[in-house]
Amino acid sequence: MIACQSENNVPIVGKEMVGKSREMHWIRLDRYYAGPVEDPQAVAQPMLCQHCEAAPCESVCPVNATSHDDEGLNVMTYNRCVGTRYCSNNCPYKVRRFNFFDYNRHPLNHQFLYRSPLVAKTDGEWELLRWLKNPDKGNLPEDEWQLAKLVKNPDVSVRMRGVMEKCSFCLQRIEQAKIAAKVKARDTDHIRLTEKEGTVPKTACQQACPAEAIVFGDMADPASSVSKAKEQERTYKVLEFLLTKPRTTYLARVRNPNPAMPDSKEHPLPYTSEEFNKGPFSPGEGAEEPAEKGAL
């Protein structure tokens, strides 16, 4: 999460906003529990934009701000976004995050976020005038502005308020790799990124994950590790029945506890989908399949 945050200029929103579920993280860790409340078995599932083939977010945006690119990525065009937030409502995974305030142009203090620049002053200057003079700086005090400029990743656009954002699969890294490959290829047409040659980039989360639980790569290349992971029979898609055709797939968790260990005991399995459907009005709370490995 932190790797993603620093790579993608994800704004830090402060305690007040996190309390209102307005955090901006592009990737979150969902937890699911099985077994008794006193001694539950917990599994974590990283949840991020699933880059659906039939993405529900795309068809509802009136201004074409979210769309497919030719590589199958679901991309956000921040410039086009007017912020109807319909995409978030229609996303079954709810992985889109909205810039409720100008987080990058305000000191992260509850009062500053809520006060109107029409009536406030920063550094003794009317905020509206300040903003007109330099819209990028906004209402950050001079010293914070100098610092803020250095903090950001220059390859990723900084989003303003009223704009939706979400995981891009570190699009900027893919683009950099493609440019590098094109430079190297010169007149030949050998521009395809391949894992064998090590030209496929890693996403920030993949790079930071010590358990190597996240795999990213070229689905069209049958030799890539992501294609191989997808061939395993443990592979599944979250909310597959909605036919969103997500490109992100998961591998079901395998547990192999040692029965010889002194604290070893039988743990109940999570619900199967049959059990899950049998009980009337039973879905939702803690009944999802556990999951681990993310893969593209």
Partner 1 sequence: MDDHASIKVQAPPVQLERVPLVGNQRGLGWLTDRIAGVIEGETPAWWKMCFAISLTMMTVCFVMILYLMSTGVGVWGLQHPVMWGYAIINFVWWIGIGHAGTLISAILFLLRQKWRTSINRAAEAMTIFAVMCAGIFPLIHIGRIWLGWWLFPIPNSNGIWPQFRSPLMWDVFAVSTYFTVSVLFWYMGLIPDLAVMRDRAKTKIRKIGYGLFALGWTGSNRHWSNYEKAYLILAGLSTPLVLSVHSIVSLDFAVSQLPGWHTTIFPPYFVAGAVYSGFGMVLTLLIPLRRMLKLEDIITVRHVELMCKVTLGVGSIVGYAYAMEFFIAWYSGNPYERFLFLRNRAADPFIIGPMFHVAPAPYWWAFWTMVICNVVVPQFFWFKKVRTSMLTVFALSILVNVGMWFERFVIVITSLHRDFLPSNWGFYAPTWVDILQYLGTFGLFFTFFLLFIRYIPLIAIAEVKGVTPQADPHHPLGGAKVGGQH
Which positions touch partner 1 (CB under 8 A)? 17, 20-23, 28, 30-31, 47, 56, 59-64, 79-86, 88-90, 92-94, 97-102, 113-118, 128, 160-164, 238-239, 242, 244, 276-277, 280-286, 288
Say if residues 199 and 180 touch (Cβ distance below 8 Å): yes
Comparing CB distances to partner 1, the nearer of 118 and 183 is 118
Say if residues 212 and 290 touch (Cβ distance below 8 Å): no
The total number of residues shown for the chain amounts to: 296
Say if residues 106 and 116 touch (Cβ distance below 8 Å): no
Min dist. Cβ of residue 261 to partner 1 (A): 31
Print the SS3 string covering 92-122. Answer: CCCCCEECCCCHHHCCCCHHHHHCCCCCCEE
Give 121's Cβ-side CA count (13 Å radius): 4
Comparing CB distances to partner 1, the nearer of 79 and 258 is 79
- DSSP three-state, residue 206: helix
**Alpha-carbon span 95 to 29, nearest angstrom:** 11
- Closest among 83, 106, 39, 87 to 265, alpha carbons compared: 39
- DSSP three-state, residue 87: helix
Q: What angle do CA 68, 57, 284 make, to 5 degrees?
A: 130
Comparing CB distances to partner 1, the nearer of 113 and 200 is 113
Min dist. Cβ of residue 74 to partner 1 (A): 15
Say if residues 264 and 257 touch (Cβ distance below 8 Å): yes
Min dist. Cβ of residue 152 to partner 1 (A): 20
Min dist. Cβ of residue 251 to partner 1 (A): 18
Comparing CB distances to partner 1, the nearer of 93 and 169 is 93
Which sign, positive or negative, has the C-alpha torsion 50, 228, 230, 291?
negative
Min dist. Cβ of residue 17 to partner 1 (A): 8
- Closest among 106, 140, 137 to 123, alpha carbons compared: 140
Comparing CB distances to partner 1, the nearer of 24 and 204 is 24
Comparing CB distances to partner 1, the nearer of 18 and 151 is 18
Min dist. Cβ of residue 40 to partner 1 (A): 14
Comparing CB distances to partner 1, the nearer of 88 and 235 is 88
Q: How far is CA 106 from CA 99, 101, 110, 189, 247, in A?
A: 12, 8, 10, 47, 36
Q: What angle do CA 68, 69, 74 make, to 5 degrees?
A: 45
Comparing CB distances to partner 1, the nearer of 264 and 282 is 282
Min dist. Cβ of residue 207 to partner 1 (A): 24
Min dist. Cβ of residue 66 to partner 1 (A): 10
